[in-house]
Amino acid sequence: MSIKTTIVLVTTFVLGIVFTAFSVIVYQKAKAAYWGRLDAKLQGYATTVREEVDEQTNEHRFPTVADFKDLRSRGLAGSLLRILDSKGNVLVDDTLLDSQSSIAPDELVRRPMIVEHAVLRGERYRTLWTTIDQAQQGRYLLQIALPSTEVEASLQLLQLLLLAGVPIALIISAISVHIIVRGAFRPLAAFVHTVDAIGEKNLRERILLPRQKNEVRSLASTFNGMMDRIERAFASQRQFVADASHEIRTPLAIIRSELEFAQKQNNNESVRESIGTALEEVERLKSLSDNLLTLARIDSAAVVVEKTEVRLDELLADCIRKMKNVAEKKGVALVLQIDEVSTIPADREKLQRAILNIVDNALKYSYAGGTVTITTRVSDGQVDILVRDEGEGIPQEELAKIFERFHRTESQRSGAEGSGLGLAIVRGIVELHHGTLAVASEQGKGSVFTISLPLDGPT
């Protein structure tokens, strides 16, 4: 699960708990307040009734229904009331309350006030049972009731609002969190995109710093700092390889001329043979150091690509001429097949070097009597140069690795000459031309190397 989704889910879950707890508390408080207010009103009415009863009994009368009707129009609006004596006989019932009482008289001895809900005359009421204590007449029971529909309706409305409000608030907060998190993570997406694009070849790539000075900005700037250091380390390593291979050339040239001189001067056949072997190794070393220098230059982008309009047929014919002797020596036929003459923007010398490397390999890994064919194919704004051989082929598991530096297939390590740098150079040159290099091979049948170049590539 992505961090974004986790944040949205966890926040929504926590807010859900908070909103629900808040709603429950609000509802309970409102409920207590609403009923408390109604109960206080009932108690106030009970006091008025007590005063009325006191007043009347002082005049040796007991209030009648008419008195209470009168009283109701003055202060007890909306209330229903009933007075019973201590034995439960109804003395006043102006309200047509249900005659049976749900409260036993002695219940009120233990609890001076009992509040309950009741349905009276088909309506919902809150009723209060209490006592009217008189010095001479003793105790009366008073039941007084007020409609509770208004309070219930208010509470129902509040419940509805809270029940609907919690999910709505949750949806709004989840959307807000999602928008905020997406905004906060957007620079990170750009960050990942840039980091993805950074490879050995484009160590110059840097992350664009976001304008706000936040954590992402400091992460990006730390990363850029690290990339600076890596770029410097790579550059100094390439420089070292380039310097080393350059420095080695002069001593190698001197060794070669000294060896050649010694070979000429010496008449002893076995000594001359040994010097010949040493000369071959010097040649190998020279070509190795040349290749290393070329690769270091390609890597450091110090190499200058001098593109001109190159006629491919001429370039390939040149390659064939150069490789004719090698092919003849090996007994391999070298064939050029061009259907369409095309011109491409390329650095002639470098492209020739790349093609020669591939043709050289094709001849090197061919059997005597085989054929190496060079063909071209023009399609979709690009030209393909295919070099096909009928040699030993390359194992499938090696195909992806042969372009790596110093990689040689297992069978070649002890056999044919080579250093494993030729194809790395080819790839470097092809990439400098914004092209691609591909290989297809079947063991025992041969290989096809394809260089694809854009016909109107950037110059």
Interface residues with ligand ADP (CB under 6 A) are 361-362, 365, 389, 391-394, 402, 407-409, 412, 418-424, 447
Least gap, CB of 249 to ligand ADP (angstroms)? 19
Q: Which is nearer to ligand ADP, 59 or 410 (CB)?
A: 410
Amino acid letter at 170?
Answer: L
Residue with tokens 């092809």: 430
Amino acid letter at 63?
Answer: P
CA distance linking residue 79 with residue 120, whole number of Å: 11
Q: Which is nearer to ligand ADP, 63 or 418 (CB)?
A: 418
Element (H, E) at 144: strand 138-147
Q: Which residues, 6 or more positions from 155, have their beta carbon under 8 angstroms from its beta carbon?
A: 27, 30, 31, 34
Q: How many CB atoms lie within 10 A of CB 424?
A: 22
Note whether 355 and 451 are within 8 A (CB). Answer: yes
Least gap, CB of 228 to ligand ADP (angstroms)? 32
Q: Which is nearer to ligand ADP, 146 or 363 (CB)?
A: 363
- How far does CA 405 lie from the centroid of its chain? 34
End-to-end Cα, the chain, rounded Å = 46
Note whether 51 and 43 are within 8 A (CB). Answer: no
CA distance linking residue 66 with residue 399, whole number of Å: 113
Q: Which is nearer to ligand ADP, 121 or 445 (CB)?
A: 445
Least gap, CB of 8 to ligand ADP (angstroms)? 52
Least gap, CB of 408 to ligand ADP (angstroms)? 3
Q: Which is nearer to ligand ADP, 76 or 394 (CB)?
A: 394
**C-alpha distance from residue 281 to each of 277, 286, 364, 417 (Å):** 6, 8, 18, 11
Q: Which is nearer to ligand ADP, 132 or 402 (CB)?
A: 402
Least gap, CB of 327 to ligand ADP (angstroms)? 13
Least gap, CB of 316 to ligand ADP (angstroms)? 17
Least gap, CB of 275 to ligand ADP (angstroms)? 25
Q: Which is nearer to ligand ADP, 52 or 389 (CB)?
A: 389
CA distance linking residue 110 with residue 4, whole number of Å: 62
CA distance linking residue 139 with residue 105, whole number of Å: 10
Residue nearest to ligand ADP (CB): 418
